[in-house]
């Protein structure tokens, strides 16, 4: 469901070839950044929905345990909250003609000592993200979720921390509007419920604009 971004890949054939390459990727296990002791401790299972049709890209962090098990992005409570933010149901969300879903790391990175997800693997974005992004010139809205996606997609528009970056969403939209609009979001994890309560402008100001843009692009 994507087109490769290099000169040797074009159209649906290139799309399928790029996804086959991603599906077979094992660099986080076989050639880990930092040496063999930093290797992914379980079998890689890349999760990426790159598409030549969708006009909206969800640029997330990395799969969690449930997504690692299902092989399908956002099959967890974070996905339920994200779909609520977007104002779409599951059938709309998982229609590749509507949404491309390309996390910063394609594989579940494992858990830290406290049981939380580790950061996206550092090998993934340098190896794949440029090609995947180049494969989707039809995109008109990129939703960047969490600090790692902010760092890659926003460049100098990123502020000192996630709160300041998301609070600056109007300036980021305006700066990116002429090409492909970019909208920063926090992660929809339920662990961020406290952040949402402390920042009521997110639900009163940003989410209505997010829903409006999504529904305009989906034609709903």
Q: Is the pLDDT of residue 78 over 60?
A: yes
What does the pLDDT average to over 89-106? Answer: 97
172 pLDDT exceeds 60? yes
Per-residue pLDDT at 116: 84
Tell me what pLDDT residue 92 has.
Answer: 98
Share of the chain above pLDDT 90, in %: 84
Q: Enumerate domains of the chain plus CATH numbers.
A: 11-218 (3.40.470.10)
Per-residue confidence at 4, pLDDT binned at 50, 70, 90? very low
Please report where in the chains the tokens 């956002």 appear, as a residue. 74
Predicted local confidence at residue 13, as pLDDT: 66
| Cα-based angle 17, 90, 180 (whole degrees, multiple of 5) | 60
The torsion angles phi and psi of 111, rounded to 5 degrees, stand at -115, 150
Report the candidate in 78, 74, 76, 79 with the shortest Cα–Cα distance to residue 47: 74
Question: What are 59's strand-pairing partners?
Answer: 144
Average pLDDT, the chain: 92
Task: Name the residue with higher pLDDT: 110 or 2.
Answer: 110
Provide mean pLDDT across the span 80-98. 97
Average pLDDT over residues 171-176: 95
């Amino acid at each position: 469901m994507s087109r490769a971004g290099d000169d040797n890949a074009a159209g649906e054939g290139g799309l399928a070839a790029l996804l086959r390459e991603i599906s077979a990727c094992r660099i986080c296990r076989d050639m880990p950044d930092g040496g063999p002791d930093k290797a992914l401790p379980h079998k890689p299972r890349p999760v990426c929905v790159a598409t030549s049709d969708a006009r909206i890209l969800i640029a997330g962090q990395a799969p969690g345990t449930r997504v690692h098990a299902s092989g399908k992005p956002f099959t967890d409570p974070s996905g339920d909250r994200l779909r609520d933010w977007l104002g779409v149901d599951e059938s709309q969300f998982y229609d590749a003609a509507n949404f491309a879903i390309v996390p910063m790391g394609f594989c579940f990175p494992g858990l830290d000592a406290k049981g939380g997800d580790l950061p996206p693997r550092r090998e993934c974005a340098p190896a794949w993200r440029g090609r995947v992004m180049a494969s989707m010139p039809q995109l008109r809205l990129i939703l960047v979720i969490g600090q790692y996606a902010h760092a890659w997609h926003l460049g100098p528009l990123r502020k000192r921390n996630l709160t300041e970056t998301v609070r600056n969403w109007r300036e980021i939209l305006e700066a990116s509007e002429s090409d492909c609009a970019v909208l920063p979001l926090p992660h929809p994890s339920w662990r961020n419920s406290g952040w949402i309560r402390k920042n009521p402008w997110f639900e009163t100001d940003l989410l209505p604009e997010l829903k409006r843009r999504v529904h305009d692009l989906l034609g709903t």
